[in-house]
Amino acid sequence: MIKYIYPALIAGLITGFAFTLFNLFFVQSLIVEAELLELHSAGVVHDHSHVGDKDSSFISERNFLTLLVNIAMCVAFSLIVIGFYYIRDGLSDTRNLLKITLSGFLIFFLLPKIFILPQLPGQSLGNTAFVQLIWILTTLGSMAILIITDRLNLFSVRLLLLLSLIVVSIFILLNLDLVVYKIDPLHSTFIYYTFISNLILWTLLYLNLSYFIKD
């Protein structure tokens, strides 16, 4: 097990870089725009270009910190995947690695975000404690269901469950204004890119881990 920690760290590092790069190109601009709109609505900012010049150093520093946080997060996910993979299979069959990383994507991102949509700056989540409780319960519940079906060897049930959850989640993401509530175009774009970025994260994590541990 110890010899696979280093490959897991490398896989997490590479995935964190790629995940951050995607977010800087497609997600960061949406966050900055939302921040400017929030300041403008509060009467603090009247000239967006002036804010951009003034805060360029702050944005660079924030991007660097975001990179560090994303790398740490991806390394943690990588170690979690390797840990579960080792416990279940003893690192003997890399084919099951795909199922574990897919489960990670569902447990840590997709299922919780069905109930708690990704939020831009200036958007209220309501009762923060209640929202956090929903995220925890959704994550633990999803993990419990997947572990139980795996232990019972209910492969067909597990596969059907996973596919159903994916279909329902994609439907909700594509019909947010009908299923949840009316959202503005900026928020909708942010949700879509957040979904894509996390899908990229877990896909790259699987590809990197399968490459580095195959030997």
**11: nearest Cα among 87, 77, 107, 96:** 77
Structure tokens at 85: 């993979």
Q: Does residue 176 have a pLDDT over 60? A: no
Q: Do residues 108 and 139 touch, judged by C-beta distance below 8 A?
A: yes
Q: How confident is the model at residue 121 (pLDDT cuts 50, 70, 90)?
A: confident
Q: Does residue 124 have a pLDDT over 70? A: no
Q: Does residue 75 have a pLDDT over 80? A: yes
Q: What is the mean pLDDT of residues 14-31?
A: 93
Q: Characterize 133-166 residue by residue with b for buried, 16 or more Cβ atoms within 10 angstroms of its Cβ, and e for exposed.
A: eebeebbeebbebbeebbeeeeeeebeebbeebe
First-last CA distance in the chain: 13
**Least confident window among 29-43, 77-91, 142-156:** 142-156
Q: What is the mean pLDDT of residues 106-117?
A: 79
Cβ count near 205 (within 10 Å): 26
**Least confident window among 19-33, 123-137, 158-172:** 158-172
What's the chain's Rg over C-alpha atoms? 19
Model confidence pLDDT, tens digit, residues 78-110 = 999 988 887 766 556 667 788 888 888 888 888
Question: In whole angstroms, how far apart are CA 182 and each of 37, 111, 121, 169?
Answer: 18, 20, 17, 17
Question: In whole angstroms, how far apart are CA 152 and each of 126, 145, 146, 147, 186?
Answer: 39, 11, 10, 9, 44
Q: Do residues 34 and 188 touch, judged by C-beta distance below 8 A?
A: no
Q: Does residue 50 have a pLDDT over 60? A: no
Q: Characterize 62-75 residue by residue with b for buried, 16 or more Cβ atoms within 10 angstroms of its Cβ, and e for exposed.
A: eeeebbeebbebbb
- Rounded CA-CA distance 27/142 in Å is 27
